[in-house]
Chains A and B, each alone.
Chain A
């Protein structure tokens, strides 16, 4: 272990729906609205495409925060996708909180294609929260360690 501390650089995975939030991210870029480089986007067709497994996978691979962004309720390109996403993610976030994962590490927000400013704001705020929490050490411990693998 090195003695001098590296400044904490979090890793944030952002799942963005193709029609609203990904376009919102593009608009933030076109408008040169800065947010931290640790936010990295994965494009999905709809927020309802985000399987809870993907979120777990990101945490398992070392993400410190995961955010899902989709069209506002009522505006989903596929009409109802974000409503399903909302339920799934509520239950997932609640379960992660129940398991002792800090509840600020997960977030769902609605960001439209016109909301470049909101995109940058949401990402800045989320990143601040993750910085405050520090590295995600708990998730990796919620595994089965008894056996011989490794």
Chain B
């Protein structure tokens, strides 16, 4: 039996004006378990807390009920006071007789009666409270960043700068990601490579950063503070430690038919290749599907010309096992495949290209050396038509329902760059809406229209038709309420941003949730935008949703701060109000596991002694470091084996009983 003390607060006149304090104090004296009941003007004050401490000593209290303001206000205060008095802080319950009683009920008798009910409800609960202690777990002071694009690099650099070890895992042969493929960046038109490559170098040279390129995360176990991760490093067929990056092998390689992925397939590369000149690491990789040696056994030219003897056809995948305290997901995006958009003729007409292909064409290091040329015949175009929202804001089911966010701005950028370099080229843009919410964004767009004479047409394109070696773009002009047909030499499609294909698999490995579009879900859409609901997993960049470079970098740094905050702790303290399964009642049905948003429930085979016999049973185990205490599991547990400490079935039922008495 508990020895409960009840303390009714006046809150000056805030409570006392509407509630007859004495009635509440007296009524509580006859409640089960109550050995002491009193009142005070301001319980939260130094003196009020002193009263509480004295009463604990004097009456040997084991439980405390404070009838006062909302627990959201002072629960922590009174828990600390209880702790100081030697009572477990979780033996305190608050009856909210201010916000939920005295402040809203004007009839004194009614308010008093309700205060009595709320107070006895809290007493009924405390009768069933048990002392709780937060668990602790160790923190491995190393972070894993998955994805080596600008998001991953920024997160890694910030974490490393704060003094913690970071590993970057990138599935491509080089870090850099999508930003490395861009030519210029809006709204400043500075060169993407000029601002990205120094960061790549910084990451590569940082003493706290290790980079695993051409590698993928294969397995994850553990939890916040202590994830065990298995990384598979795919065989490059080139020994990275002795290769000098001289490039001789690439010059001599006779296999020249592979599509150059970095240039969006606009030209070909060798079977042994470095994706681009500033790639990190500057070590080639052999594309085994294209390599003549791997296909036929003959050739091996690269190995013969290599001065360092670095080519290794026998190289195997390497496996790295490492432990991490935190994981940052920075898996980025790719652009939607336009195979199914027959109306734009993307799959059939070489002069219908995507915006990312245009980036490569405009780039001095790209397939045309930076000259704007038509892929079909290598001639300069006279007219370029841009089509926005290709696959974005698409409710037909073919594309994505969301706005890809960056297309309006990069289309304006492309249009402007073309008009600046080639003033003789006509540039038109078909758009649904132009969305420019960002610093200096609208000014940028207006410059495209007003200073550079880009023709913006509000309306969608219905069809692109090849005609006499050119392309006829048929669409509607909604503002003019007319149909338009523009002759173009180049049609550029702003294809939708799509979560990277690896996101879904990684979500499963990490029990990080994803939405219907495979973007990672944040723990709270407003207040925890860089945390995944899975503790210790953070989100960086477009993998959480479409965003531009500054937003990506901001989010990457925010995720890094969260990681640093976590790694700076030696021990993690966990909320003790979490779920726990009674092993004798658990039947191992897995229903709790199905509803847990955090993947905190796992199953073990445990030997139990039941009715004098040993039995092996499948039992649910809640990982205390992961459980957040929502209680979803408790309701699907029919036997009541799974219960939530601090909000147990019997506690809530006792509250219901007291409330309805």
Q: Which residues of A contact B (CB under 8 A)?
A: 11, 13, 22-23, 25-26, 28-30, 32-35, 37, 40-46, 48-54, 57-58, 61-63, 74-75, 77-81, 84, 88, 120
Contacts and interface: CB of A to CB of B under 8 A. Distances in A.
B117 interface: yes
Interface stretch (B181-189, B479-487, B623-631): B623-631
B100 A78 contact: no
Given A40-B114, A43-B71, A79-B533, A29 B104 contact: yes
B649 A51 contact: yes
B99 A61 contact: no
A75 B98 CA distance: 27
A35 B110 CA distance: 12
B524 A77 contact: yes
**Which of B110, B113, B655, B661 has the most A CB atoms < 10 Å from its CB?**
B655
Given A41-B100, A51-B634, A61 B661 contact: yes
Contacts of A44: 631, 647, 652
Interface in B519-578: 521, 523-525, 533, 577
A79 to B, nearest CB: 5
A49 B631 contact: yes
A46 B630 contact: yes
Contact of B595 (A42, A51, A84): A84
Given A42-B652, A49-B647, A84-B632, A33 B104 contact: yes
Majority-rule SS of A interface residues: mixed
Contact of A79 (B98, B107, B110, B513): B513
B103 A29 contact: yes
A68 to B, nearest CB: 12
Nearest to A13: B659
B597 interface: yes
Given A42-B652, A45-B577, A61-B661, 14 more contacts: A13-B660, A22-B72, A26-B72, A26-B99, A26-B100, A29-B104, A30-B99, A30-B103, A42-B655, A43-B96, A44-B652, A63-B660, A79-B533, A80-B595
Given A77-B524, A78-B597, A84-B632, A40 B659 contact: yes
B647 A34 contact: no
B99 to A, nearest CB: 3
B103 A49 contact: no
Contacts of A33: 104
Q: Bin the interface of chain B by size.
A: 35 or more
B525 A34 contact: no
A13 B656 contact: yes
Contacts, number: 131
B635 A75 contact: no
Contact of B632 (A43, A57, A62, A81): A81
B579 to A, nearest CB: 10
A50 B630 CA distance: 10
A79 B632 CA distance: 11
B392 interface: no
B525 A49 contact: no
Given A42-B655, A45-B630, A79-B597, A37 B660 contact: no
A45 B104 contact: no
A104 to B, nearest CB: 19
A135 B319 CA distance: 69
A88 B659 CA distance: 23
Nearest to A40: B659
A73 B106 CA distance: 34
B371 interface: no
B83 to A, nearest CB: 21
A58 to B, nearest CB: 5
A41 B649 CA distance: 16
**Which of B70, B114, B513, B644 has the most A CB atoms < 10 Å from its CB?**
B70
Contacts of A74: 525
B237 interface: no
Interface in B641-661: 644, 647, 649, 652-653, 655-657, 659-661
B49 to A, nearest CB: 22
Contacts of B103: 29-30, 32
A40 B101 CA distance: 9
21 contacts: A13-B656, A13-B659, A13-B660, A25-B99, A40-B118, A41-B96, A42-B656, A44-B647, A45-B577, A46-B630, A48-B595, A48-B630, A49-B631, A49-B635, A52-B635, A58-B659, A75-B525, A78-B632, A79-B533, A80-B595, A81-B630
Contacts of A25: 99-100
Contacts of B656: 13, 42, 54, 57-58, 61
A40 B117 contact: yes
A124 to B, nearest CB: 11
A29 B111 CA distance: 13
Contacts of A80: 513, 595, 597, 632
B635 A58 contact: no
Nearest to B114: A37
Contact of B105 (A37, A42, A48): A37
A26 B70 contact: yes
A35 B652 CA distance: 24
B657 A48 contact: no
B99 A58 contact: no
Contacts of A51: 634-635, 649, 652
A84 B595 CA distance: 8
A79 B499 CA distance: 20
B121 interface: yes
Contacts of B661: 61
**Which of A26, A37, A74 has the most B CB atoms < 10 Å from its CB?**
A37
B655 A48 contact: no
B75 to A, nearest CB: 10
Contacts of B635: 48-52, 84, 88
Nearest to A11: B660
B632 A49 contact: yes
Contacts of B110: 37
Contacts of A61: 656-657, 660-661
Interface in B594-639: 595, 597, 628-632, 634-635
